[in-house]
Amino acid sequence: KRLIVLGGGPIGCELAQAFSRLGSKVTQVERGPRLMGREDADVAEYADSVLRESGVKVLTNHDALRFEVQNSEKVLVVAKEGHEYTVAYDEVIVAVGRKARLKGFGLEALGITFDKTIDTDEYLQTIMPNIFAAGDVVGPYQFTHVASHQAWYAAVNALFGSFKKFKVDYSVIPWTTFIDPEVARVGINETEAKEKGIEVEVTRYEFAELDRAVAESARKGFIKVLTPPGKDKILGVTIVSEHAGDLLAEFVIAMKHGLGLNKILGTIHTYPTWAEGAKYAAGNWKRANAPEKLLTYVEKFHAWRRG
């Protein structure tokens, strides 16, 4: 089957790679200059390369104009830099975003307002005190794990809100794009830091140096940690590798509970495991922020001891 995937976001990339590996001839069309446009350029380049390795034909900077039937064959007309041409297909997957279907459930009759999502307060309560909402109908993140997170707040506030309410916490939201290898992120990345004017220090660790990755012939990828200059507070982490979604959990709990890279560095990690990547990333940060003046004094002290 010849398959066209419209959209270069996480879902489009996941489906394009999956169907290509299942034997379809996949063409992925993205109107932007790169796949996964919310990620840093190096992450987008990585996603592009692994999809192409999986047999996906990636068309960036292409506008999907219209579908036609030409000579009894279904085609998509695309354009790049004003030049139009056709891509033949058998099936199409549209992965350009989604919104909740909210009409037809009687919300309007109750006066519950909504646009793309239902309007709730910070406790997930609508204007009707006995109606709470959670999941994609609320947003702002369309993730299963966020829906589960919201469900706890909605349920507890509905049951016990007359005694105590809990504001839903979106402070640390992780997500993973399940291409192979995976791309996982929590907090801000370099692109967002630049957009928001946040000064950051970037620390990288390459999995090519990790013994477990070498043993499994899976040396592609890296960990990238963002911190305030000279400080070990974790502002954001991007992991590109096998098991990236699992490896991210250590950084998520660290950010949630205010633990910095020094704490990760001081934690014993089993050898040889993928999890050691977190410790080695913290070690790279420590070396880059070594107290040079103190080390000079230490060197002089030990030189004196040696006589």
pLDDT digits (tens, 9 = 90+) for 235-293: 999 999 999 999 999 999 999 999 999 999 999 999 999 999 999 999 999 999 977 67
Would you state the pLDDT for residue 68? 96
Domains 2-94 and 174-288 in one fold: no
Segments in the chain below pLDDT 50: none
What's the angle, vertex CA 222, arms to CA 189 and CA 208, rounded to 5? Answer: 165
Q: Give the whole-angstrom CA distance, residue 264 versus residue 113.
A: 45
The pTM for the full model equals 0.90
What amino acid is encoded at 181 in this protein? P
Q: Give the whole-angstrom CA distance, residue 62 versus residue 13.
A: 16
Would you state the pLDDT for residue 303? 78
Would you state the pLDDT for residue 307? 76
Q: Give the whole-angstrom CA distance, residue 267 versus residue 261.
A: 10
CA dihedral 50, 1, 176, 141 (to 10 degrees): 140
Q: Give the whole-angstrom CA distance, residue 271 versus residue 294.
A: 31
CA dihedral 45, 176, 23, 63 (to 10 degrees): -50
- Show me where the domains of the chain are located: 2-94, 114-160, 174-288
Q: Are strands 2-6 and 91-94 parallel, antiparallel or unpaired?
A: parallel
What dotted CATH number matches 174-288? 3.30.390.30
Q: Tell me, letter by letter, the H, E, C secondary structure of the chain.
A: CEEEEECCCHHHHHHHHHHHHCCCEEEEECCCCCCCCCCCHHHHHHHHHHHHHCCCEEECCCEEEEEEEECCEEEEEEEECCEEEEEECCEEEECCCCCCCCCCCCHHHHCCCECCCECCCCCCECCCCCCECCCCCCCCCCCHHHHHHHHHHHHHHHHHCCCCCCCCCCCCCEEEECCCCEEEEEECCHHHHHHHCCCCEEEEEEHHHCHHHHHCCCCCCEEEEEECCCCCCCCEEEEEECCHHHHHHHHHHHHHCCCCHHHHHCCCCCCCCCCHHHHHHHHHHHHHCCCHHHHHHHHHHHHHHCC
Q: Are strands 91-94 and 222-227 parallel, antiparallel or unpaired?
A: unpaired
Question: What six digits make up the tokens of 245?
Answer: 């979604």
CB 238 within 8 Å of CB 183? yes
CATH class of the domain at 2-94: alpha beta
Closest CA relative to residue 113, chosen from 102, 123, 124, 104? 102
Would you state the pLDDT for residue 99? 85
What's the angle, vertex CA 294, arms to CA 288 and CA 296, rounded to 5? Answer: 95
Would you state the pLDDT for residue 304? 79
Q: What is the pLDDT of residues 223-235, one digit of tens each?
A: 999 999 999 999 9
Would you state the pLDDT for residue 297? 65
